[in-house]
Structure 1
Amino acid sequence: ACLMWPRGFLLRLLLRVTAGATARHACARVHPLLVKSGHASDTRLATALADAYAKSGLVTHARRVFDETPRRDLVLWNVMISCYSSHGLLLDSWALFASMRRRPGLSGDGFTFSALLSARAPPSSRGHLLGLLAHGLVLRLGLQLDLVVATALLDMYAKCGRVADARWVFDAMLLRNSVSWNAIIVCYGRHDGGKEALQIFVSMLRNDDGCCCRPDELTLASLLSSCANMAAAYEATQLHAYALKRGLQGFLQVANALIMAYGKNGFLQQATQTFATIHSPDIVSWSSMVSSFAYLGCAKSAIHVFERMLQQGVRPDGIAFLGVLSACSHAGLIQHGLKYFLLMTTDYQIDPCPQHLACLVDLLGRAGRVQDAYNILLNISCQTNTDVIGAFLAACKTRGNIELAKWAADRLLGLEPNEPANYLLISNAYAAAGAWSELAKIHGKREQ
């Protein structure tokens, strides 16, 4: 009888054990037991079941349990809000939150707001506005000192690209943990604030009490990426030493970031040595090596690494092809470049982006095949940008092709009519070709 009609504590134990990604079938067996045993209206049991469904990805099942529970406490509301939030259902989580707020005595707590702010949804203006609303409610309820809530606020602003707001939240925090330190560092790193990220990293180390405030592998990878973008060689070597000291170099994302940091700073030997330490390089590892060689003008080495990657059975992505195309372009290896462009578009069915097209146009232009580049621009489905047209205009200037230069000038001004650099580029092309009448026209347009 006990097994047929489990008591409440037995069901709670069973739900606790079965909650998780593999709990779908277990939840399906437990749910009928709740109903048959007369415990379906038990709020604590309903909360446990809804939580188990949520962690199993069964959002509609969790909502059904929620709707069928007559007495809902704050914990159950939080579980359902968190369920929607963790599955990227931002509007559903806020709609449920608004419904909860209409109930007497249910204004939400720290868990509520951390769940709302941590929604796994793409950054958007709507998400930012909802985040501002949550921030206002947090201040009204006096929850801004809650470490979890403050960290969620910081992360929300960071994901929305509001770096100054994220920094304001960070500076207002009386207590900080590794999550909050790491969040602000990654925030700066993702938004071209490498210098600030490194400064905060130093402050983090100074505030480290030995265990609770240490950068993790994602933070270190972000810092190393900043070093690559800023050409900060000394800082990259210091971060490498820190990674070795803390045992973080074994993380793939750290090793990949090290390769790019060393490569962008001209330390190809160190980049190659780091690559050699990776037991199972992924596409990012290979692409980083190809890009590093291409960036420093080592075209043959870039091609060699790319071919090794293909031999290893690693499927190249658009970034890997961009690296090898860039190498071919800078070295004037037209046959190799055309081969890889065709390989990308035909064999691997990768649609070229404007950066790929700019490399191809530059490659053809260096080889004097301006007409071929023009034909490609006319027939390709990829949307062009100023980089592509600028590369084509530069090729027209080099070869003195004034007619195609006129076409490129019209396209360039059509894309960015108010950009002074475009007028300078066009003027230089006309001057080099001796097209003084066209030069006078472009000066007239610029003055207008």
Structure 2
Amino acid sequence: MGSLAHGLVLRLGLLADVVVATALLDMYAKCGGRVDEARRVFDAMAVRNVVSWNAMVVCYGRVGGGGKDAVELFRRMLRDGSCSPDELTLASVLSSCAGMAAANEATQVHAYAVKRGLHGFLQVANAAITAYGKAGFVREAKQTFAMICDPDVVSWSSMISSFAYLGLSKDAVHVFERMLRHGVQPDGVAFLGVLSACSHAGLVEEGLQYFLMMTRGYSIDPNPQHLACLVDLLGRAGRIEDAYNVVIKLSCESNADIVGAFLGACKMRGKVELAKWAADRLLCLEPSEAVNYLLMSNAFAAAGAWNELAKVRSVMRHRCGSKVPGCSWIEIGGTVRTFVSNDVMIHQSTEMQQMVQLTISEAQKEWNKDTTCDDPILVREWQ
């Protein structure tokens, strides 16, 4: 239907109408993230208003890996000068910065918001908190939160999630308790943040209390992420049987994330039989997901179940085949650089390899100073 509508717009010569063209662009953005079609409509527009720019920025932000394009489009919008970004533009770009953990870009966009007097909008401030948190800028996240006159539940949740993401579990719990004292009713996102914090800090009883508070006190139905946190919480505390009961009694064995969390708990505690059960469930749920096979392999390797490990590796080779490699990125000198494993096509790859070899060589020299070990296995590890 979308393509038919696009064809009709072209046939009637309505693409020159900024309202019609923007609606068409927005349609592509919301139809499964058809970014290429949306961008073609955007580039064909003779006149663009702030809504047009926002629609394209939001479209990039919705697509995994589109954050870099969203930031670049924002810069182009500033250079174009035909219209000024509004609070929706800034919130969307900051969300994209959060997805890339791009601290420099987030700081620049937030500074622009302050300069324009738009930092007071809740959606801008909340997005800035998340962006700073993902980039590891705790002080800036706290300062942004402190500048909000009347923080809403999203503001509190953003701060809680930022602390939890950075492993600052006690701070996350402290902010959650402050939110309750301020009379703000927590939502599912806030509970997810505090449950994650409790899980990573080993605060089992506190985590269980928060889970009961969520389900009984606030009548919030737990989603798979909450249940995965609960399973992980129990698993980290060594309560594998309790974690198993959660999976079975709450009918979670049909959710790959929850079963994966349980498998991770089995790996941590060396529970081979339960790990086999979880592995079989994952094979049924997502037979082509390579990451599940890696989880299984790690669990069996940690338990010394080498026969099971060999079987998993064999099945993985037959079922998964080749996979699209994941990418990582890092911000250096204001530029976000993207790379994948064994990528020899990127700029300066030769220099990077030389630097890695130099680092290994220097480390080996230091190691040789401190030990006279001539174990051939250890020597091979260094080489």
Q: Following the alignment from structure 2 to structure 1, what is the Cα–Cα distance between the partners of residues 216 and 254?
A: 20
User: 8 Å contact 2:252–2:259 — kept in the other structure?
Assistant: no
Q: Which runs of 5+ in 2 are unaligned?
A: 319-383
Which of 353, 361, 374 is the matching residue for 2:244? 374
Could you tell me which residue of structure 2 aligns to residue 179 of structure 1? 51
The one-letter code of the counterpart of 2:296 is I
Find the residue that maps to 2:21 and give its secondary structure.
Answer: helix
List aligned pairs for 1:25-64, cutoff 5 A. Answer: none
- 1:402 matches 2:275: no
Shift of 1:198: 0.9
User: 8 Å contact 1:364–1:373 — kept in the other structure?
Assistant: yes
Could you tell me which residue of structure 1 aligns to residue 155 of structure 2? 285
Shift of 1:244: 1.0
Give the % identical residues: 72
The one-letter code of the counterpart of 2:10 is L
User: 8 Å contact 1:190–1:222 — kept in the other structure?
Assistant: no
User: 8 Å contact 1:352–1:382 — kept in the other structure?
Assistant: no
Shift of 1:141: 1.4
User: 8 Å contact 2:16–2:46 — kept in the other structure?
Assistant: yes
Q: Following the alignment from structure 1 to structure 2, what is the Cα–Cα distance between the partners of residues 390 and 363?
A: 13
Instruction: Please say which of residues 189-198 and 383-392 is displaced more in the overlay.
Output: 383-392
Could you tell me which residue of structure 1 aligns to residue 62 of structure 2? 190
Q: Following the alignment from structure 1 to structure 2, what is the Cα–Cα distance between the partners of residues 234 and 371?
A: 46
User: 8 Å contact 2:301–2:309 — kept in the other structure?
Assistant: yes
User: 8 Å contact 2:202–2:236 — kept in the other structure?
Assistant: yes
Find the residue that maps to 2:81 and give its secondary structure.
Answer: coil
Could you tell me which residue of structure 1 aligns to residue 376 of structure 2? none
- 1:361 matches 2:231: yes
User: 8 Å contact 1:354–1:383 — kept in the other structure?
Assistant: no
Which of 140, 147, 151 is the matching residue for 2:22? 151
- String of CA shifts for 1:256-310, please: whole Å, max 9, x gaps: 1111111111111111111111111111000001001111111111111101111
Could you tell me which residue of structure 2 aligns to residue 387 of structure 1? 257
- 1:248 matches 2:118: yes
Could you tell me which residue of structure 1 aligns to residue 77 of structure 2? 204
User: 8 Å contact 1:294–1:327 — kept in the other structure?
Assistant: yes
User: 8 Å contact 1:259–1:271 — kept in the other structure?
Assistant: yes
- 1:311 matches 2:181: yes
Hey, which bits of structure 1, 4+ residues long, moved more than 2 A? Answer: 381-387, 434-448
Could you tell me which residue of structure 1 aligns to residue 329 of structure 2? none
Q: Following the alignment from structure 2 to structure 1, what is the Cα–Cα distance between the partners of residues 261 and 190?
A: 21
Output the TM-score relative to the length of structure 2.
0.79
Find the residue that maps to 1:280 and give its secondary structure.
Answer: coil
Q: Which runs of 5+ in 1 are unaligned?
A: 1-128
User: 8 Å contact 1:351–1:382 — kept in the other structure?
Assistant: no
List aligned pairs for 1:155-170, cutoff 5 A. Answer: 155-160=26-31, 161-170=33-42
Find the residue that maps to 2:150 and give its secondary structure.
Answer: coil
The one-letter code of the counterpart of 2:41 is V
Shift of 1:322: 0.4
Output the TM-score relative to the length of structure 1.
0.68
Shift of 1:214: 1.0
User: 8 Å contact 1:431–1:439 — kept in the other structure?
Assistant: yes
